[in-house]
Amino acid sequence: MNYSFQFDAVIASWDYLLTGAWLTIRLSLGAMVLGLIVAILCALGKTSGPKPVRWLINAYIEVIRNTPFLVQIFLIFFGLPSMGLMLSPDMAALIAMVVNVGAYATEIIRAGIESIQKGQVEAGLALGLRPLQVFRYVILKPALRTVYPALTSQFILLMLSSSVVSAISADELTSVANNIQSQTFRSFEIYIVVTAMYLVMAMMFSGLFAAIHRLVFTYDLERR
């Protein structure tokens, strides 16, 4: 093999790559927070809502889980303008990521909620807690503790899947890398660096989630 590595183009575009990585992080964090809210509400509706609500949530989950993420992005970015709703690439990417992760996280949280014994709920009601307080303190927190590893794995997968939004020209890391590659033709060098950057971001999110687990769940158990 006679290939000569040349990373000059990568170094010259380092600021551009960092800008793309920062957008990837912002989109991922925003989608994780909003997607978690969507998932909690949908999981609550699916486990204790009226039948029409459960049917709508099930339909939402099945549609999202059985269609490609890229098609969902195209539907939001190219489809909504035909209805008069124009979105920037970044906003369309965020909405698509929230909708996507919300469906997957709903099933994860639902499994956690259903793992809570009914006796615990009845005990909370017997102590005079309101239904919302029972859900918050007796159901939700233990449920999140149970499914936390699966939930955080889904969030990291979301961050890695954010590369797909480059298809609508959202200037996240993969889109930036594609632009640099088209100008320099140093594909191998560019994508080696981008691979390393995604790995670092995934490890950063893993560390963040581990710290949140210690702060929210482990520390709470130790105080007891």
CATH of the domain at 86: 1.10.3720.10
82, 152 in Cβ contact below 8 A?
A: no
Provide mean pLDDT across the span 103-129: 84
Say if CB 148 and CB 213 are below 8 A apart: yes
Q: Which residues contact 134 (CB under 8 A, 6 or more apart)?
A: 121, 124, 125
pTM over 0.85: yes
pLDDT per residue as tens digits for the range 145-165: 899 999 999 999 999 999 999
**More reliable by pLDDT, 49 or 149:** 149
- % of the chain exceeding 90 in pLDDT: 63
Short-list 220, 219, 199, 171, CA closest to 16: 171
Number of domains in the chain: 1
Domain extent, residue 168, equals: 21-175
Q: Is residue 139 part of a domain?
A: yes
In a domain, 63, yes or no: yes
Specify if 45 maps to a domain: yes
**Token pair recorded at residue 70:** 């890229």
Other CB atoms within 10 Å distance of the CB of residue 177? 25
DSSP letter, residue 162: G
Q: How many residues does the chain have?
A: 224
Q: Contact at 8 Å (CB) between 165 and 89?
A: yes
Report the 10 Å Cβ neighbour count for 61. Answer: 18
What pLDDT score was predicted for residue 219?
A: 60
Assigned domain for 201 exists: no
125 compared with 52, residue with greater pLDDT: 52
Q: At residue 121, does pLDDT exceed 90?
A: no
Residues 122-126, mean pLDDT to the nearest whole number: 75
- 191, pLDDT greater than 80: yes
136, part of any domain? yes
119 belongs to a structural domain: yes
Question: Strand, coil or helix: what is 172?
Answer: coil
